[in-house]
Amino acid sequence: AQSVTQLDSHVSVSEGTPVLLRCNYSSSYSPSLFWYVQHPNKGLQLLLKYTSAATLVKGINGFEAEFKKSETSFHLTKPSAHMSDAAEYFCVVSARAGNNRKLIWGLGTSLAVNP
Amino acid sequence: EAQVTQNPRYLITVTGKKLTVTCSQNMNHEYMSWYRQDPGLGLRQIYYSMNVEVTDKGDVPEGYKVSRKEKRNFPLILESPSPNQTSLYFCASRSGGSRWTQYFGPGTRLLVL
């Protein structure tokens, strides 16, 4: 069965410092992995996705994530945090159940960016 | 502009009063689904639809109905809402194939009193 674990429920960084949001996954086959962001009172926006191509995936707003099969990880990083990055971040793995290919969501990591 | 729209965005209702949340997409996607988001539980799939007239239960279907009479629309129906259905609801759609991306609507915040 597929599952995803976000290792930190809250992360706080200072503006201009690096961001690391950790995600481990479990999948019985080669997974598709995603990071979504949700700003307060906003919808869900896709940051980036991995679908078995390059293991280092670049997304929007300077974010990137590296797929490491040996570690079953898909951590999200950004070199320099901006105030506008404060949001909830979700790591997601695709799962197949019969004809349904659905998304399994992590519980989210709340990122705070301090001035 | 490619988008998924939901209406209403906010809704306060009372227990037992039937309501419908509409969802529409303009990308000609075959696959549509509904999720609810609750604190500490993340997003959970309620129902999904592979195409017109093809729907099936997700992880938390109890208390909900859906229909897919047209490709672009996928309404979520609460026949007799209860307070435990107070939640944030998202509609999503995606195309088929191996390089799919799921697009989400803006969300509907529902409060059942």
- Inter-residue contact B61 to B47 (CB < 8 Å): yes
- Range of weakest confidence among A1-5, B58-62, B85-89, B106-110: A1-5
Would the CB atoms of B104 and A51 count as touching at under 8 Å? Answer: no
pLDDT, residue A102, reads 75
pLDDT of residue B75: 98
Whether the Cβ atoms of residue B48 and residue B58 lie closer than 8 Å to each other: yes
- The torsion region of residue A83 among left (phi > 0), alpha (psi -120 to 50) and beta comes to alpha
Strand positions, DSSP E, chain A: 3-6, 10-14, 19-21, 23-26, 33-38, 44-50, 56-58, 64-68, 73-78, 87-97, 100-105, 109-114
Percent of chain A past pLDDT 70, that is, above it, reads 95
Q: How confident is the model at residue A95 (pLDDT cuts 50, 70, 90)?
A: confident
- 């290919």: which residue's tokens? A101
Q: What is the mean pLDDT of residues B38-63?
A: 92
Neighbours of B110 (CB within 10 A): 21
Strand-strand pairing, A23-26 and A3-6: antiparallel
Q: Is A5 on the interface with B (CB under 8 A)?
A: no
Contact B42, B60 (CB under 8 A): no
pLDDT > 90? residue A42: no
Give the confidence band of B85 by pLDDT, cuts at 50, 70, 90. very high
Q: Which chain A positions have a beta carbon within 8 Å of B105's beta carbon? A: 43
Q: Tokens 């998202």, residue?
A: B90
- C-alpha to C-alpha distance for B74 and B55, rounded to whole angstroms: 10
Contacts of A101 in chain B (CB under 8 A): 31, 100
Calculate how close chain A gets to B21, using CA atoms only, in Å: 16
CB distance A103–B102 less than 8 Å?
Answer: yes
Residue A52 has pLDDT above 80, yes or no: no
Among the partner-chain residues B42, B56, B106, the one whose CB lies closest to the CB of A100 is B56
pLDDT reported for residue B98: 60
Is the pLDDT reported for residue B99 higher than 70? no
What proportion of chain B, given as a percentage, has pLDDT over 90? 80
Q: Which of A51, A52, A101 to mutate to test the interface with B (most CBs of B within 10 A)?
A: A101
- Give residue A52's Cα distance to chain centre: 16
- Taking CB atoms and an 8 Å cutoff, what residues of chain A touch B30? none
Share of chain B above pLDDT 70, in %: 96
Tell me the two tokens of residue B102.
Answer: 């799921």
Cβ within 8 Å of B, A 6-35:
none
Residue A85 backbone phi and psi in degrees, to 5: -80, -10
User: How many CB pairs below 8 Å do chains A and B form together?
Assistant: 41
Residues in chain A: 115
Helix (H, G, I), strand (E, B) or coil at B86: coil
Average confidence (pLDDT) over A58-70: 94
- Check residues A90 and A96 and name the one with the higher pLDDT: A90
pLDDT at position B62 is: 97
Q: In angstroms, what is the C-alpha Rg of chain B?
A: 13
Note the pLDDT of residue A68: 92
User: Nearest Cα to B81, choosing from B42, B53, B110, B45?
Assistant: B110
